[in-house]
Structure 1
Amino acid sequence: MVDKKCLTVLKRGVQYWNKWRKKDRYLQLDLRGINLSGEILLGINFTGVNLAGAILVKCNFCGANFDGANLTGANLSEANLSGVSLCGVNLTGAILIGTNYLGAESTSSNWSLANLTGADLRVVDFARAELSGANFIGANLNGANFIGANLTRANLQLTELEGAKFNHANLVQANFASANLTSANLKQANLSEANLTQAKLSKTSLTQADLTEANLSQANLTQADLTEANLSQANLTQADLTGANLSQANLTQADLTGANLSQANLTQADLILAKAWNLID
């Protein structure tokens, strides 16, 4: 239920709203279910505001502050959130299809089950964010920061992730099929049972990453760094590992059938019970 006083103040414009907010920063504001579709609210202060279920389609929130806000189930499809601060925000189940987040900050936020299909998320800071089950299909995440984030069972099919940072991230059962992870950093990430079929992982850092039972069939791992990575029982059939560094990697029971290992470094790698039929070396 939208608070009538809040609505009255909001109608007077962003400048008046922000000035009013400064008078009482700890006021609990309720804008649940409000419909602001198409509104231009540049730099608005929505810190801590309850916007659960709000309809914010095609809104322009460039430079706004949503820190600590409740956006559970909100619809922000095609909204402009470039340069927005979303730290500590709850976006569980929110709809964010085609949304622009260029340069937004979202550390420690909850995006569980959020729909971010086709969103522009370049250089967004998702450090330590909760993203389990989130849908990123076709999103542009080049240069995004996922350090320490939880992306368990997240769907990242066909995403652009060049230069993205996933250090120490939880990526268990995440779906990266046909994703572009060129030059990304996945050092010490947990990718057990992840789907990386036909993913582009050229020059990617996977040092000490856990890839137990991961599916890397037909993946491009040319010049990738897999030093001390755990690839036990991983599926690497027809993967291209040309020039890859697999020194001290654990490839126990891995399937390397038809893989290309030309110029790969396998120094002290553990290949016990690995399948290696029709290798290209």
Structure 2
Amino acid sequence: MANPEHMELVERGAEALIAWRQTHPDVRLDLEKVDLKHVILSGMDLSGASLHEADLQGVNLVGANLQNVGLRGAQLQGADLSRVNLQDAHMVRVNLQAACLQEALLHRVHLHGAYLQAANLQAANLQHAYLQWAYLVDANMDGVQLQGARLQWANLQNANLSSANLQESLLEGAVLGHTVFHRTNLKAAQGLDTCRHLSASPLDAGTISLSGFLPNHFLQGSG
């Protein structure tokens, strides 16, 4: 259960939280399973907080510091997480349907099995992120940095990967279909020959030029 004092503190706003952190530098905020839909969290320092299974649907978190937070199973549908720092956050099975994560910092974030349908990840940094089994259907991933990311068995149907950088990413068993590859960098990506093509995902000349060698199975499946 969440700590009621911590809930009250967050409701009082960013300045109250800053003052509290100065006197409690080693205390982790306990906000598990709380309803925060009515709270403005933009720019707030929630780093290290426990927010497992919290309800954050539609919440404004623009520019917030969520580094190393626990968000397992949290509800974030339609939330605005633009420019949020989510480095090393644990977000297993989180629901981010139609959420905005533009320019978010997501280094090494744990998003195993996360639901990201129609999420806006434009220009987000997901280097070395854990996205195994993530559901990214219809996601806007234009300009996303995915170098070294783990995308095994992720569903990328209808996802927009224009100008995305997937160098050295892991794509074993990833599901593709009408996936947009436009000037997409797939250089040294692993597992391309095991991707499942449910429909064609044509590669433009820019993608082929940036990516170098691509396995025949992947090229044939892409159509």
TM-score by length of structure 2 reads 0.87
Equivalent position amino acid for 1:239 in 2 = T
Residue 260 of structure 1 deviates from its aligned partner by: 2.8
| 2: CA distance, partners of 1:128 / 1:236 | 31
1:259 to 201, 204, 211: 201
- The equivalent of 1:63 in structure 2 is 15
- The equivalent of 2:134 in structure 1 is 194
Matches within 5 A, 1:130-279: 130-250=70-190, 251-256=192-197, 257-262=199-204, 263-264=206-207, 265-269=210-214, 271=215, 273-274=217-218, 276-277=220-221, 279=223
Matches within 5 A, 1:117-132: 117-132=57-72
Equivalent position amino acid for 1:246 in 2 = L
| 2: CA distance, partners of 1:278 / 1:201 | 18
Q: Is the 8 A contact 1:128 1:148 kept in 2?
A: yes
Query: Cα–Cα, structure 1 residues 129 and 62, in superposed 2: closer, same or farther, change >3 Å?
Result: closer
Query: Cα–Cα, structure 1 residues 276 and 115, in superposed 2: closer, same or farther, change >3 Å?
Result: farther
- The equivalent of 1:51 in structure 2 is 4
- The equivalent of 1:106 in structure 2 is 46
Q: Is the 8 A contact 1:98 1:117 kept in 2?
A: no
Residue 232 of structure 1 deviates from its aligned partner by: 1.0
Greater relative contact order, per chain length (Cα 8 Å cut-off, separation 6+): 2
1:27-56, Cα deviation, whole Å (9 max, x unpaired): xxxxx99xxxxxxxxxxxxxxxx51697x6
Q: Is the 8 A contact 2:115 2:134 kept in 1?
A: yes
Residue 62 of structure 1 deviates from its aligned partner by: 4.6
1:187-233, Cα deviation, whole Å (9 max, x unpaired): 00010000100000000000010000000000000010000111111
| 2: CA distance, partners of 1:185 / 1:193 | 19
Equivalent position amino acid for 1:220 in 2 = N
Equivalent position amino acid for 1:114 in 2 = A
| 2: CA distance, partners of 1:143 / 1:62 | 17
Q: Is the 8 A contact 1:67 1:88 kept in 2?
A: no
TM-score by length of structure 1 reads 0.70
| 2: CA distance, partners of 1:244 / 1:200 | 13
- The equivalent of 1:39 in structure 2 is none
Residue 99 of structure 1 deviates from its aligned partner by: 2.3
Unmatched tracts of structure 2, length 5 or more: none
Equivalent position amino acid for 2:13 in 1 = F
Equivalent position amino acid for 2:213 in 1 = Q
Question: Secondary structure of 1:252's match?
Answer: helix
Residue 64 of structure 1 deviates from its aligned partner by: 1.1
| 1: CA distance, partners of 2:38 / 2:201 | 37
Q: Is the 8 A contact 1:178 1:199 kept in 2?
A: yes
Residue 107 of structure 1 deviates from its aligned partner by: 1.0
| 2: CA distance, partners of 1:51 / 1:93 | 12
2:37 to 72, 80, 97: 97
